[in-house]
Structure formats: C-alpha cells, structure tokens
Chains A and B, each alone.
Chain A
C-alpha cells in the first residue's frame, strides 16, 4: 500500500509521464493487435506523429506561459488567423511563401505582445487577458471571413504532407523546437527567470529579476508557436480557415497536454519534455481509438479521464514533504532519499 504510493511521491513528474506514455503505448499495442493491426507500422507511426505536431506546437508555447504563471486562451483564434494570413498572402504563389510565413508569424507575435502587455502592464491575469484579446480576434474573424480563403502553393504543402520515412517533417520541426525551448529553459537567463517568476514573482523581483520580461516574452513566444501551428494547418488544408483553431479546441487541449506533462498549472515547475510526452499520450490514444472505431463520446471520456487521473497522481506527490524517518513497521530507514535534482537538460 505504501510501496507504490511512496515511490510515486518521490519521482520526478517527467519520469512519471514517460512511464505513463510507455504504459499507454503497451496497452495500445495490445488493443491494436487485437483489431489485427500493427501500431508500429509506418502508416500508423506517421498518423500518430502527424497527430502530435499541431497540438505539439501550441502546447510548447502554452508550457512557457503556464510556467511563468499565466495562461493563453487566445491560441485557437491565433491559429485560425495565421492560417488565413498565410494563405491569403501566399495566394498560391511559391514566391510569396516567405512573406506569407513572416507576415503570419508577425501577426501572431503582435497578438502575443498584446496579451503580454495586458498581463504585465494592466496587471490582468492571463486567463482574463487572453480571453479578452482572443474574443477581439474572434470578432475580427467572424465579421471578415465567411469561410475558407486564400490558397497555399504546392511547395508549401510539403511542410504538412512530406516526411523522412514514416516521420512527418512537421513532427521533426516540432521536436527540434521543443528541444530548443527545453535548452532555453535550462541554460538561459530567460529560462531560469521564467521558472523564478512563475514560482515566486516577489522572490524573483527581490532577487533583481525584471519580472515583466519573462511574462511578456512567454506570451509572444506562445502566440508565435500557435502561429506555426496555424501555418501547418494551412499547409495541410491548402487554404486558410477561420474556424480551424476553434474546431481543434487547442486552448483547453494544449493546457491539458501541459498539465498531463507534469507542469504545475500554478507555474514555476514543469518541463518541456513532459509536455511533449503529454501530447504524445493524446496522439496515441486518439490513434488507437480511431483504429478501434470507438464512438466520439467515449473518446472524450477517455481523454478526460486520463487528464484527471494524471493530475491526481501528481498531486499525491507531497512536494515539500519532510523526509520520512521511519517505515510503517517502525524500523528506522537506513537511507536518506536523495533530494530530487532540479537541473538537467530535461528542463
């Protein structure tokens, strides 16, 4: 009774989420095998990885804002808007790919900047600030677009369609960017200050950290990552769509993936690789459920249950706990559990 519970309590959240990913993969392998299919076939791997990339981009950004103690609910609208901006600017011409990408990401960055300024300048919590900015963007989308618009040239569709072997290009880009951000978190002042401001804004301030900068940059980066997701969707659809973001439900799903990855919703603790695993768990579950033709309602039930169970597991870990001195039998513990190390590239 105490064995598993105590062991989980001492584990790093990122370790737990990867164990969970392995468990989910193992169960899925069996289930898919029962349906007479192979989850590790190239086609299946491609499907799963394709499923990770859009949500992956959004969740990478969401991880940054959550770590810094904020939230971003405007991401679905940024996704839709950037898909439109890119498709309209490109207008089917290969030569206009670069301006399209740059303009789309600039628009995303501007929205992120607005989010960040409202949060840092007007001291409005990220939840409300990004909800408001998101609604403004939504209003713009609803009044100016009736349906899909613009066209993406065939060359740009490579981003969404091609890959190396079974690994889609978009998934590679996503993983490279996740690795980059993990490195940024571990080895740059921006990264360290992101954790510090999220974990204790006043502590950070009194230590000489300029507390607004990490918040502002996290919001800008989050929107840019949502913009990349928008570009990817435009590349896959061939057009821009005003509803593609909201249909994907990227706001809540990305927050769920971040939390599933072991990042504390309050900020200050978490990891980029945890988020990647969280996204992967969702992708594997989705893939298995489509293979098994589970009805859509049950799909959401499973997703919801996974999130709740995961967070319940993390909260069992007593994080500021005193070290136990005696086992339940009263015998003295011989070893002092090592204090968990907080450094390392995984952050």
Chain B
C-alpha cells in the first residue's frame, strides 16, 4: 500500500448538486479519487449514489459544484466525453447488446478502423487480449452476448471499461449479479487495476466487499454526504448505522414466536427438465428452505420449474400429498404458489403501470372474483411493507429498487399463497428494505407458509434458512442444516468435497 497522502487525487468532486423537476436529490456532495486507490460509496437506495456516478460519467449534468480531473475543471455533456478523458463506468444495468458479439460490444462506438473499414481481426484480437488479461478463458470474443451467463456479461462490461484504458473506473454494484466464487474474479480484477494506478469508485450494498476492497469509504444518505473515512477507522456496525441512520440491531431477525414446522405441502421426486435433473425436494409449512449454489447451478431453474414457467418434464410433484402437474404459472398461482423472480424490472413488474395495477395483476388475472376485496386491503399491505411512494397511482418505474421489490411482494401476498418461492429477493435493494424482506419471510413462516429462499449471498441463506439445499450443475448436491459455516456450503456448491451425488438427500454430512 502506498501512502494515502503521496498521490494527489486524479478526480475531485466538490459540492456537486443535482435536481430533478425542481427537487434537489444531491445536496452538495464532495469526494476525492486517488490513483491506485479504491473509494467505496455506500448508502441506501435513493441515497444518490447512482446519480453521483452518472454525473461523473457524463450521463447527467450537474446543477452546481465542480468536478476537477487532474486539477482542471471538467464538464461532460455526454458519456463519450468522459470516456475520452479516461473515465469509464460499469453501470448496474448492463449496457450490452444481446444480439452482438463480445468484441462488437466491447468496442461499440470505438471500433478500430483501417482504411475506413472496421478492422474486425484487430477488434477480436484486442478483445481476446483483454479477456486474457483478466484471466478469463471461457468467453470467446465471437460469442453472442445474449448467449452468455449474467456473470460472463458482467465480465464483458468490465472488459469494455478496461478497453478505453481508463484512469478512473466507477463500478455500480458490480457484484450484484455475481455468485460468491465469481466475486473472487472481480477482486482480482480490482487488484490489477489498483496496481496499474487506476482510481476506482466502488458502489456496493455488500459491506463485506466494501471492507475487503476499499481504502476510503464515503457514506451518502438522502442525497447528502454523511462521512468520508479511511477504512481502518470504520467497522461494519458503524457503517451500517451511518447508512440507515439507525443501528441494524438484528440484521437477520430470529423466527417469530409461534412458528411451527408443519406438514409437507410440496414434494418433488426425481424432477427434471432441460436444466435440472433428479430433483428431490420437500417444502414444509412454516419452514424456510434456503437454496444455495454457484451462478448457473440451477437455483433459478428450480424455482421456475416448481412455478411452472419452465415446468418439470420428468418426475412427480405432489401438493399436500396429491399428485399435480403444474404446466404454467397460472396453474401454480391457482395452487397458491407465488414466485418472486430475480429480475424484478423484467419479470416482476409492469414498469409503466401503476403500483395498484401491479399489485392487483395476479389477482385480477387468476382470481378476478377476489379483486374487490383485495383492492380494499392494498393500502394496508403497502403500509405494512413500509412502501414509500407518492401514491398508488404512481408508475412502478419511478420507485427505487427496494420499493419496487415491495410492490412485487405485495402482488404475491395478495394471492394469499401457501408456498412462496423467493429468487434473490434482496438483490440490489438497500439495507432497510432487506430487513423488511427478512421480517416478511419470518411473518409468512409464522403463518404457516412454506418458503423457498434462493440467494447468491451466502450469509443471507445461512442467516434465514431452516435448512440449506445446495445445487450444483442442475442437481441437488446435498442438504445442510441451519447455521452451517459458509465454507461448508461453498465446498458442497463447488464440488470440493468427495460425495458427488448423495443417494439420500436428507442426512447429508457436511
């Protein structure tokens, strides 16, 4: 580590303000980015992190304050100007074209030309070289981006930032979509960038990463600067307290009193389809079953198979002992099954419709007779979920991630489900909203709902689940009890331990 005072900052943000439609959302934020240093930016959703990043990236124009690059004031009106000045941004939403190849995406807008024509060979070689630099051998520069996994697409995003040889790289939740072992690759990448003397602005909700990677941590709350300290002067509880303005006393709440694990409500035997095989799983009333596994291990596919959106083509599914065939989400909803999908913007919400319409969507289409009575309950549900919105007539698009997720949850609570499948329910939402989701899970369990909780965040699965099903390569690799150590879950998920395919799922030794 170099001395913090040695290098002058490459990028200085001073008293930057921004307003939208007359409402100020950033109230004079300042921070410095130094070469070879990682500057963490944390705060709840809506705290202004993304807005600040977009101002630095030239996506938004500031309404006040100053940004200095190498000492001279800069005023970017377009992202490409920021890029040319050496500032790259890896946005949370992928800026990739699924129908184009990796190389075409990486060099989009900066295609190398020779004699006026695009030098496709040079483009492919350069992309391959950058992938090599990151030690990534699984991605071909000719692959269509749409055919890559989310983690691979994330790597393409980073390669795109690297390709402009940026001196400043900001990353907006780069690990939000990554499984734990893939995060290690990103750590490695950040390490290499530091060595090259790149200044990094790192936004994440995962405090562990912030502490692992960052040299300085700045906290934003409600668009204002709370603090900016060296990492050595901070610990997680302090940081958490500053972010939410209150201590997170119980991050993972204990089961509510009166929670009882009851009868098996759903059981799958030897279930399989194109992505899954030999699935044996039981969900019991009042029980939280955690699903862990690496990205692509089949966690999402398991939830989708139960919900009928990618149905099982083999094996049997029993609901309370009765064999059923769930071939479509509609049938699943009729059987009182709910699925909170991992991508709420694409599959969870009708973004252009009102909150009320979103919350009534499942009820109106599957149980139209109940619409009137459910509609009367909606304001109460919204309040109990601590949904923050102007009105229920507001478009879902306008809400922050955490509040959008609450709308999705309200939609499914309205169907009065007996089985709730939660696929990454806390992805990309702030700490306060996360705790609200955890409390809801506990409350549902107390009411005798069976819960399947899929998450790529190990602490979440370990902290919430009564037992943990670990998936690997489309099969259930084994099952672990509550409170298992992270390392043991990871060992099973990666196949590091010898038992590859246990005959009996229950009673798996750690």
Contacts and interface: CB of A to CB of B under 8 A. Distances in A.
Interface of A: 186-189, 191-193, 195-196, 199-200, 202-209, 264, 268-269, 319-320, 322-328, 330, 332, 339-343
A274 to B, nearest CB: 14
Given A196-B97, A200-B97, A206 B91 contact: yes
Nearest to A184: B117
A67 to B, nearest CB: 10
Interface in B105-149: 108-111, 113, 116-118, 120, 124, 140, 142-144, 146-148
B274 interface: yes
B300 to A, nearest CB: 9
15 contacts: A187-B118, A188-B118, A200-B96, A202-B95, A203-B97, A206-B79, A207-B79, A208-B78, A209-B109, A268-B97, A319-B146, A339-B143, A339-B144, A339-B147, A342-B101
A7 to B, nearest CB: 14
B474 interface: yes
B278 interface: yes
A203 B96 contact: yes
User: What are the 7 A-B residue pairs with the smallest beta carbon separation, nearest first?
Assistant: A208-B80, A208-B109, A324-B274, A339-B147, A339-B143, A207-B109, A269-B99
B98 interface: yes
A187 B119 CA distance: 8
B275 interface: yes
B83 interface: yes
Contacts of B116: 188
Contacts of B124: 343
Given A326-B276, A342-B144, A268 B99 contact: yes
Contacts of A207: 79-80, 95, 108-110, 160
A11 to B, nearest CB: 13
Contacts, number: 124
A232 B250 CA distance: 78
A206 B100 contact: no
Given A188-B118, A343-B104, A208 B99 contact: no
A208 B111 contact: no
B466 interface: no
B108 A320 contact: no
Contacts of B416: none
Contacts of A188: 116-118
Interface in B152-205: 160
Contact of B147 (A187, A205, A324, A340): A340
A13 B203 CA distance: 40
A189 B111 contact: yes
Contacts of A328: 274, 313-314
Interface string B69-97: 00000000011100100000001000111
A199 B97 contact: yes
A187 B79 contact: no
A326 B277 contact: yes
Contacts of B273: 326
Contacts of A332: 277
Nearest to A333: B274
Given A322-B275, A330-B278, A192 B113 contact: no
A325 B79 contact: no
B71 to A, nearest CB: 25
A343 B147 CA distance: 14
Nearest to B116: A188
Interface residues of B, number: 46
B84 to A, nearest CB: 8
A115 B292 CA distance: 53
B490 to A, nearest CB: 21
Given A326-B277, A330-B314, A195 B100 contact: yes
Nearest to B98: A320
A206 to B, nearest CB: 5
A192 B98 CA distance: 14
B466 to A, nearest CB: 28
A188 B116 CA distance: 7
A342 B118 contact: no
B50 to A, nearest CB: 13
B237 to A, nearest CB: 37
Contacts of A327: 274
Contact of B142 (A186, A208, A343): A343
A202 B313 CA distance: 39
Most chain-A Cβ atoms within 10 A of its Cβ — which of B96, B273, B274, B276? B274
B120 A343 contact: yes
A187 B272 CA distance: 44
B460 interface: no
B44 to A, nearest CB: 25
A196 B108 contact: yes
Contacts of B111: 189, 192
A325 B83 contact: no
A208 B83 contact: yes
Contacts of B278: 330
B142 A195 contact: no
A341 B118 contact: no
A189 B113 CA distance: 8
Given A268-B97, A324-B274, A192 B118 contact: yes
Given A208-B80, A330-B277, A187 B120 contact: yes
B473 interface: yes
A204 to B, nearest CB: 7
Contacts of B277: 325-326, 330, 332
B59 interface: yes
A325 B99 contact: no
B272 A342 contact: no
B146 A325 contact: no
B301 interface: yes
A180 B334 CA distance: 56
B59 A206 contact: yes
Given A188-B116, A192-B108, 17 more contacts: A193-B108, A196-B97, A199-B98, A204-B108, A207-B79, A207-B80, A209-B109, A319-B98, A320-B147, A322-B275, A324-B275, A325-B274, A326-B276, A339-B144, A339-B148, A341-B143, A342-B100
A264 B278 CA distance: 38
Contacts of B144: 339-342
Nearest to B149: A322
Given A187-B118, A195-B100, A342 B108 contact: no
Contacts of A339: 140, 142-144, 147-148
Contacts of B99: 195, 199, 264, 268-269, 319, 342
Given A189-B113, A209-B108, A325-B275, A343 B118 contact: no
Nearest to A345: B120
Nearest to B274: A324
A204 B99 CA distance: 13
Contacts of A189: 111, 113, 118
B429 to A, nearest CB: 23
Most chain-B Cβ atoms within 10 A of its Cβ — which of A205, A207, A322, A324? A207
A234 to B, nearest CB: 34
Most chain-B Cβ atoms within 10 A of its Cβ — which of A203, A205, A269, A332? A203
Contacts of B80: 207-208
Contacts of B79: 205-208
A341 B141 CA distance: 9
Nearest to B160: A207
A196 B104 CA distance: 9
Nearest to B89: A206
A319 B144 CA distance: 10
A191 B100 CA distance: 12
Contact of B101 (A187, A325, A341): A341
